[in-house]
Structure 1
Amino acid sequence: MSWYNNLVAFALIYMLTLFCVLPIGVKTAQDVGAEVEPGHASSAPLNPRIGFKFLLTFAISCVLFGVYYLVGTYDLLGLNDLLGRRF
């Protein structure tokens, strides 16, 4: 595995994790009971906490990438044995 493959794998893991983390803890104005300002979507979150979600996504992605790297480096799944060739 080259550094480029690892970079692309981390980027994919990060983006997939980000889209899973984004809806966590979202509260709209209707959920809280606040008045919706004119021109705002009623589904818009009041406090999205984007910075926290980016850091949480980075931490989860590092753990998942670590698992991916260990499985790929040490061939823990035995893909070479299953497919009969070296990747």
Structure 2
Amino acid sequence: MRITSIIAIYLLFWWGCLFLVLPFRLRSSAEPEAHVPGQAESATPRFSVWRTVLWTTVVATVLFALFYVNYVNGWVTADLFDLTRYRAH
């Protein structure tokens, strides 16, 4: 696999993991915390972008490493999902 393909696939994993990690550790505004003037009631009182980026990078790296090891070793291939061979004649 070329390095450009590795980077492109990793970025896909990273963006996908961002949406998985985003809701973690969010607190509702119903918890006791001072509101910022003009803040919506449903908005989280504190949000750390850098913590979210860090966790997204960790999760994406682990998942991409599993993907790449599978790609190199060929454990799960597209042939395993070929359902046409089970068709009744």
Give me the TM-score of the superposition, normalised by structure 1: 0.76
Instruction: Give the C-alpha shift of residue 74 in structure 1.
Output: 1.9
Q: Note the residue ranges of structure 2 that are not aligned, 5 or more in a row.
A: 83-89
Q: Which residue of 2 aligns with 1:11?
A: 11
27 and 82 in structure 1: CA distance in 2 versus 1, 3 angstrom threshold: closer
Task: Write out per-residue CA displacement over residues 18-73 of structure 1, whole angstroms, 9 at most, x where no aligned residue.
Answer: 1111111211322x144645522222111112211111111111111111111111
20 and 81 in structure 1: CA distance in 2 versus 1, 3 angstrom threshold: closer
Q: Note the residue ranges of structure 1 that are not aligned, 5 or more in a row.
A: none
Instruction: Give the C-alpha shift of residue 8 in structure 1.
Output: 1.1
After superposition, residues 36-55 of structure 1 pair within 5 angstroms as 36-55=35-54
23 and 82 in structure 1: CA distance in 2 versus 1, 3 angstrom threshold: closer
CA distance in 2, matches of 1:7, 1:37: 39
Q: What is the number of equivalent residue pairs in this alignment? A: 82
Which amino acid in structure 2 is aligned with residue 63 of structure 1? Answer: V
Root mean square deviation of aligned Cα: 2.2
* Identity fraction in percent: 22
